[in-house]
Amino acid sequence: MCLQKKSTMKKTLLFVLIAISTLANANPIGKQEAMKLAMRFLKQKQSTTSTRTTSQRNQLKMVMQCPKAYYVFNNGNGQGFVITSADDRTDAVLGYAYTGKFDVNNIPVQLKDLLSLYEHEIKTAVRLRLKNLKTTSGTRAGLSVKRSIHPLIETRWNQGAPYNDACPMGAFERTVTGCVATAMAQVMYYHQWPRGETLDTIPGYKSPKIGKVMDTLPKTTFDWKNMLRTYDENANREQKNAVAKLMKYCGVSTEMDYATAKQGGSGTVAVELPYALTHYFGYSKAARYADRSGYTSKTWNNMIYEELKEGRPVLYGGVTPTGGGHEFVCDGYESGDYFHINWGWSGLSDGYFRLSVLNPDQQGIGSFEGGYSLSQCAILGVKPNEGEEQLDAMTVIDLHLRGLSQMSRKRIEQGFKSLSMSYEVFNYMLLPFEGQMGVGLYKDGMLMKVVHESDVISYEPITPKRTFYKAILKNFGAGLKGDYQLLPMCKDKRSNTWQLCPGAEKSVCNLHITETQLNASIINPQTIDLKLVSIDMPKVIKTGRTYTAMAKIKNVGPDFTGSLSFVFGNKRSVLGLSIAPGATIEVPLSFQPDVAKPKTQYRINVWDSMQDRDIDFVGKGEVDVAEGKNVPDAKLTASVFCTNGSRKKADELYGTHMEGRFEVKNTATDDYDRDLLIAIVGEKQDVQMKQLNAIIPAGKTITLPFAFDDLIPGTRYIVTLLGYEGIYLKGKAICNGAITCKAAVMKYLSDGTSMALESEGSIDLTDAIAVDMHDLNVKQDTKLKPSNNPNCLYYLHEASTVPETLKGKNVILGDEAPKITLQTNQPIKMLRNFTAREITCQRPLVANGKDAGSAWTTVSLPFVPDAMKINGQPAELHVYNFVHEQENKLYFNTTQHIEAYCPYLLEIKHIHDATADMMLTIYGKDVEVNQQAKSVLGSDNYNFVGTIEQHQPASAYLYNAAINRFELSQTPTIECFSAFVVPNHNNDDNAVRSLAVVLDDVELGIPGHTMENASRYAIYNLQGVKVGEGKEGIARLPKGVYVVNGKKVIK
């Protein structure tokens, strides 16, 4: 076990939330419609999207489907994947990744069950009838914007060698680091803190699983400069020792219970992390443990986002329905509340997930089947110490009303006699809480007053003892009428400010007060009332096969979050689940019968994972199970073909990507219906595997295509088809073939495809938009025909010599480029990060007309610019940042800074001759240029997207400077380094034709709202003072906001 939960804490961790959402009147989504949704999503999301709609269709391939639940589409060759819903009650897209593939052959057993959880997000705010739980300052109503955050963590570390080189030995092999240590070490490397010596010695302890005493660790320093972002066989001993030492200190500081991978991995308690970070390693005392169960989905997601926005990766933990846990790092964000997860498995399964269901498709050391969606927790505020102090707070676990919940009074001026409540509270801090508990009266999300205060009290940290705060409100409610809420609050004795308790959103007492009556109510989350509406079983069920049944479950009780058990015959499977009140959802239930029997019974129950038993009946049924005939693997014959190999030699492959197929024939008289395994094994024992179910009719031949990425040039590989025996390569080989991977010139084209070219002879790169020769020793006399595209980037190894034909081109040697020149009207593709000593980017601007006086454009840059000029001359620029949207209006505020990978609206002011076309040139020196292809400022309804590469979404809103609005356009071609707006939904049929622009609270694009239309009227400033009239008055005025003809206008 990797992430442990102490048994003494079980009673306090009863309420676990998985984000779900259900809507009425559901309709199924077919495969073709699902593919369209995936195509549309990729066009909006992926930087590798083709510039042509037809080529995008050719890149998408459905690799998995679960009827009525979801579809999985791979995008091209290792360009990511999309999981789409098969039910329109859910979000259309359930998960995705920018790179790699969805590997159907290495999916954990219960993935199909857990993917169903994506269908729903918690609507706790609806259940609680609350608009907001924070005091507000009267800011403008609207939907705030979240910016996409590129993954902060660059390391791809794991738990085995060399990371565990300093971990203790087990009986026969070395123990692994443990997921908590690996996650912690990656975050510490990100901050590279402490810079000097650690703060204190770390006391020793006995590690129970291996029975060894861990020695006390002295103060030390860490060798950050010798740690690598990724480790392979080329790492030297000094580099290995540096990371191994860090891992050991992280493990011992959290009292890691060390064990080998075969024993389930090393484990510790995540709640220990804040103390270890602050006490031993000098991190901010504001670091704190937060339990997911105390927050609504929206609040929790916002908390995690705010951490990432401040540049703080989040240590994050979750537990599977069967109790296995894992600690990992949440380090990035994409619009739609997709968070990037670094799982701590050398990059395996890293990608974007909803926090409601964290389920990697492939798993590494110390992993468990079932995803990590239950008992989620996070360590917030992890950063180097800058003198902050964390004010302690009590977390509320449960709420009970005591005594009467309905009371009467004679008139509104009177108070009600007594309202009594009892809160169960818990101190997640590692020090005692000393302060007061209280009850706040809220109305429409606003704190009215604190209506009850306790004496100053002390609560011990992390104790198994149940602790209660009892509040009796006497003579309460005088003068009150309407709907109110009572929420638990607390105040650290070091502060004068009351704050909502963590968990307050789940412990709300709703009040309905009339002139004479008070009705108080809470919803008990422990009440369970789930019903089986129907279940769709396969028509034919045989032993030895894996099946999925679709069950409709209705929640006729309060909000449910927990686990279901599905018992088929003598086998039980468990899956996590959340269902909103009144909702009906479809749940896929996987089973594998092993006994042929008529009327085999099955049952669905609510499962208590704490007590390991069923606690509530949901439904049951019975089906017939027939005997399945197992055709032996020996009855299969096969041939293997590499479809993208060298034309000269059949056993050679250029590039790092391999495609091929097995032609498999079943020579038996019965159908073959079992799992097969396709594996590729390199000389250095690097292994990739793909497991798939093969149904081969008797006497027939089928084709099994395969593809593998990230092959190592110079390595000989064996590709094998095996019978799958449930574990790695234990099955009997049916067919195999050998191929050698050779270094190649990788040419990337504008349609999103790539080609591997042999490095001999004359190499034609005329149609390339990017060229990767990093694995080759390029020389000055290498014969290259350069690209016709002036934006083409040429990536060479740092030891290479620039060929004569590439002189003056955009060449990157290693990770440095002397000079880069780019044009926004030509396609570009960035493959790696690099430093540009000098970079310029040019964009033609179309004149707006003689009287315009200004030009408008959008911009998104891969670097922080030093200067911008128009036709070589300095210009007055106004930069606007997207801040929120409301009712089809996009609000922008003036900003003084341009950040890399952030979209902006740009105005060039005081253009003397606006009739001529202009050239905007953007300059940068000694700037970091990252391969991140796009950035998103996302709100609930619209995303403002900046793209570095040329892009062609299915539809987008483009800025029209003539009317100062974003207008809807179908399949537009977006230039490089530009920005556009897309709806954050998939309902194009109801899309509005244009979106208004509001700059600094003044709306543009409305007739009469520009100074050009003010020539006949008197002009007033915002204080009501007349400042001019007519054209002459306009000319004398400075830029600003004025009132003309009763309307606000901008100059």
Residue that is written with structure tokens 């001993």 in the block: 237
Q: What is the pLDDT of residues 320-354, one digit of tens each?
A: 655 567 889 999 998 877 899 998 888 877 888 87
C-alpha of 618 from chain center = 33
CA dist., res. 589 & res. 604, Å (int):
10
Looking at per-residue pLDDT, the higher value among 546 and 975 belongs to: 975
CA dist., res. 186 & res. 951, Å (int):
34
Task: Yes or no: say if 174 and 158 are a contact pair by the CB < 8 Å rule.
Answer: no
Q: Are residues 686 and 762 in the same domain?
A: no
CA dist., res. 664 & res. 734, Å (int):
9
Q: Are residues 492 and 535 in the same domain?
A: no
Task: Yes or no: say if 619 and 529 are a contact pair by the CB < 8 Å rule.
Answer: no
Query: Domain limits at 101?
Result: 31-128
Q: Which two tokens stand for residue 742?
A: 């050779």
End-of-domain residue from the set 491, 523, 555: 523
Q: Which two tokens stand for residue 553?
A: 């479950």
Q: What are phi and psi of 205, to 5 degrees?
A: -165, 170
Task: Yes or no: say if 914 and 1012 are a contact pair by the CB < 8 Å rule.
Answer: no
Residue 262 maps to which CATH number? 3.90.70.50
pLDDT at residue 1032, as a whole number = 65
Q: Which two tokens stand for residue 48?
A: 């590798």
Q: Are residues 857 and 940 in the same domain?
A: yes
Looking at per-residue pLDDT, the higher value among 878 and 686 belongs to: 878
Cα–Cα distances in Å, from 189 out to 152, 287, 370? 11, 17, 29
Beta carbons within 10 angstroms of residue 713's beta carbon: 15
Q: Which amino acid is at 414?
A: Q
Q: What is the pLDDT of residues 585-613, one digit of tens each?
A: 778 788 889 899 999 999 998 877 656 78
Q: Are residues 853 and 960 in the same domain?
A: yes
pLDDT at residue 203, as a whole number = 97
Cα–Cα distances in Å, from 281 out to 188, 198, 285, 382, 508? 9, 5, 11, 11, 39
Confidence of residue 44 (pLDDT cuts 50, 70, 90): low
In a domain, 959, yes or no: yes
Number of H helices, E strands in the chain: 9, 70
Cα–Cα distances in Å, from 47 out to 41, 99, 652? 11, 10, 31
pLDDT of 757 above 50 = yes
Q: Which two tokens stand for residue 855?
A: 């030009």
The pLDDT of 36-42, averaged and rounded, is 75
Confidence of residue 690 (pLDDT cuts 50, 70, 90): confident
Residue 667 maps to which CATH number? 2.60.40.10
Residue that is written with structure tokens 């060479």 in the block: 796
Looking at per-residue pLDDT, the higher value among 959 and 631 belongs to: 959
Collapsing DSSP states into helix, strand and coil, what is residue 883?
strand
List the catalytic residues. Answer: 179, 326
Q: Is 597 left (phi over 0), alpha (psi -120 to 50) or beta?
A: beta
Which distant-in-sequence residues (6+ apart) come within 8 Å of 664 by Cβ?
Answer: 636, 637, 638, 676, 694, 696, 701, 702, 703, 704, 721, 734, 735
pLDDT cut 70: percent of the chain above it: 77
Collapsing DSSP states into helix, strand and coil, what is residue 1047?
strand
End-of-domain residue from the set 742, 766, 791: 742
Query: Which of 47-61, 651-665, 787-801 is predicted with the least confidence, judged by mean pLDDT?
Result: 47-61
In a domain, 157, yes or no: no
Q: Are residues 807 and 894 in the same domain?
A: no
Confidence of residue 913 (pLDDT cuts 50, 70, 90): low
In a domain, 724, yes or no: yes
Q: 599, 421, 439: which is closest to 521 by C-alpha?
A: 421
In a domain, 54, yes or no: yes
pLDDT of 62 above 90 = no
Most confident of 235-244, 879-888, 890-899: 235-244
Q: Are residues 604 and 643 in the same domain?
A: no
pTM: 0.64
Looking at per-residue pLDDT, the higher value among 95 and 395 belongs to: 395
For 763-802, give the DSSP string: EE-TT-SEEEETTS---TT--EE--S-TT-EEEE-TT---
pLDDT of 618 above 80 = yes
Residue that is written with structure tokens 């380094």 in the block: 977
Residue that is written with structure tokens 């846990």 in the block: 325
pLDDT at residue 733, as a whole number = 86
Q: Are residues 772 and 711 in the same domain?
A: no
Looking at per-residue pLDDT, the higher value among 237 and 559 belongs to: 237
The pLDDT of 16-23, averaged and rounded, is 24
Three-state secondary structure string covering 979-1007: EEEEECCCCHHHCCCEEEEEECCEECCCC
Cα–Cα distances in Å, from 569 out to 89, 172, 251, 520, 607? 32, 39, 43, 46, 17
Q: 476, 493, 394, 474: which is closest to 441 by C-alpha?
A: 476
pLDDT at residue 560, as a whole number = 72
Q: 683, 656, 652: which is closest to 744 by C-alpha?
A: 656
The burial class, CB within 10 Å (0-12 / 13-18 / 19+), for 599 is exposed
Q: Is the peptide bond before 632 cis (omega within 30 degrees of 0)?
A: no
Task: Yes or no: say if 340 and 350 are a contact pair by the CB < 8 Å rule.
Answer: yes
For 202-226, give the DSSP string: B--EEETTTTEEEPPBPP----GGG
Characterize the bridge pairing of strands 517-521 and 965-970: unpaired
Confidence of residue 780 (pLDDT cuts 50, 70, 90): confident
pLDDT of 793 above 80 = yes
Looking at per-residue pLDDT, the higher value among 359 and 514 belongs to: 514
Task: Yes or no: say if 163 and 182 are a contact pair by the CB < 8 Å rule.
Answer: yes
Beta carbons within 10 angstroms of residue 1029's beta carbon: 16
pLDDT at residue 353, as a whole number = 80
Q: Are residues 309 and 343 in the same domain?
A: yes
Task: Yes or no: say if 355 and 339 are a contact pair by the CB < 8 Å rule.
Answer: yes
Q: Are residues 517 and 570 in the same domain?
A: no
Cα–Cα distances in Å, from 441 out to 367, 380, 492, 500, 662? 45, 28, 19, 11, 69
CA dist., res. 96 & res. 48, Å (int):
13
Q: What residues does 904 pair with on adjacent strands?
A: 859
CA dist., res. 330 & res. 865, Å (int):
30
pLDDT of 135 above 50 = no
Characterize the bridge pairing of strands 467-476 and 416-426: antiparallel
Looking at per-residue pLDDT, the higher value among 1001 and 460 belongs to: 460
Confidence of residue 366 (pLDDT cuts 50, 70, 90): very low
Looking at per-residue pLDDT, the higher value among 914 and 246 belongs to: 246
Q: Are residues 614 and 637 in the same domain?
A: no
pLDDT of 1051 above 80 = no
pLDDT of 1047 above 60 = no
Which distant-in-sequence residues (6+ apart) come within 8 Å of 763 by Cβ?
Answer: 745, 757, 782, 783, 784, 785
Q: 578, 609, 614: which is closest to 292 by C-alpha?
A: 578
Task: Yes or no: say if 890 and 809 are a contact pair by the CB < 8 Å rule.
Answer: no
Cα–Cα distances in Å, from 1028 out to 910, 1009, 1014? 19, 16, 10
Beta carbons within 10 angstroms of residue 202's beta carbon: 26
Looking at per-residue pLDDT, the higher value among 753 and 40 belongs to: 753
Cα–Cα distances in Å, from 992 out to 300, 974, 1007? 32, 20, 19
pLDDT of 100 above 70 = no
Q: Are residues 846 and 906 in the same domain?
A: yes
Q: What residues does 97 pair with on adjacent strands?
A: 81
The pLDDT of 639-654, averaged and rounded, is 88
Question: In the chain, how many domains are there?
Answer: 8
pLDDT of 763 above 80 = yes
Collapsing DSSP states into helix, strand and coil, what is residue 697?
coil
Which DSSP helix (H) or strand (E) runs through 43? helix 31-45
Q: Which two tokens stand for residue 852?
A: 């315009």
CA dist., res. 150 & res. 340, Å (int):
8
Looking at per-residue pLDDT, the higher value among 516 and 626 belongs to: 516
Looking at per-residue pLDDT, the higher value among 293 and 495 belongs to: 495
pLDDT cut 90: percent of the chain above it: 37
The burial class, CB within 10 Å (0-12 / 13-18 / 19+), for 460 is exposed
How many alpha carbons lie under 13 Å from residue 775 in its C-beta half-sphere? 19
In a domain, 615, yes or no: yes
Q: Are residues 976 and 890 in the same domain?
A: yes
The pLDDT of 275-298, averaged and rounded, is 85
pLDDT at residue 699, as a whole number = 95
pLDDT at residue 1025, as a whole number = 64
Q: What residues does 933 pair with on adjacent strands?
A: none
Collapsing DSSP states into helix, strand and coil, what is residue 236?
coil
In a domain, 987, yes or no: yes
Residue that is written with structure tokens 């991995």 in the block: 265
Query: Which of 704-708, 812-816, 1018-1022 is predicted with the least confidence, judged by mean pLDDT?
Result: 1018-1022
CA dist., res. 439 & res. 640, Å (int):
71
Confidence of residue 279 (pLDDT cuts 50, 70, 90): very high
Cα–Cα distances in Å, from 492 out to 116, 393, 434, 437, 704? 42, 7, 6, 9, 64
End-of-domain residue from the set 712, 742, 772: 742
pLDDT at residue 322, as a whole number = 54
pLDDT at residue 914, as a whole number = 54
Cα–Cα distances in Å, from 912 out to 851, 870, 878, 881? 10, 11, 16, 26
pLDDT at residue 127, as a whole number = 32
Residue that is written with structure tokens 């549309």 in the block: 40
Q: What is the pLDDT of residues 892-911, one digit of tens each?
A: 988 878 888 899 999 887 66
pLDDT of 1039 above 80 = no
Q: Mean pLDDT across the chain, nearest whole number?
A: 80
In a domain, 883, yes or no: yes
Cα–Cα distances in Å, from 642 out to 531, 638, 663, 739? 52, 14, 12, 8
Which DSSP helix (H) or strand (E) runs through 474? strand 467-476
Length of the chain: 1051
In a domain, 156, yes or no: no
Q: Which two tokens stand for residue 286?
A: 């504001």
CA dist., res. 717 & res. 739, Å (int):
5
Confidence of residue 51 (pLDDT cuts 50, 70, 90): very low
CA quadruple 672, 673, 675, 676: dihedral sign: positive
pLDDT of 319 above 80 = no
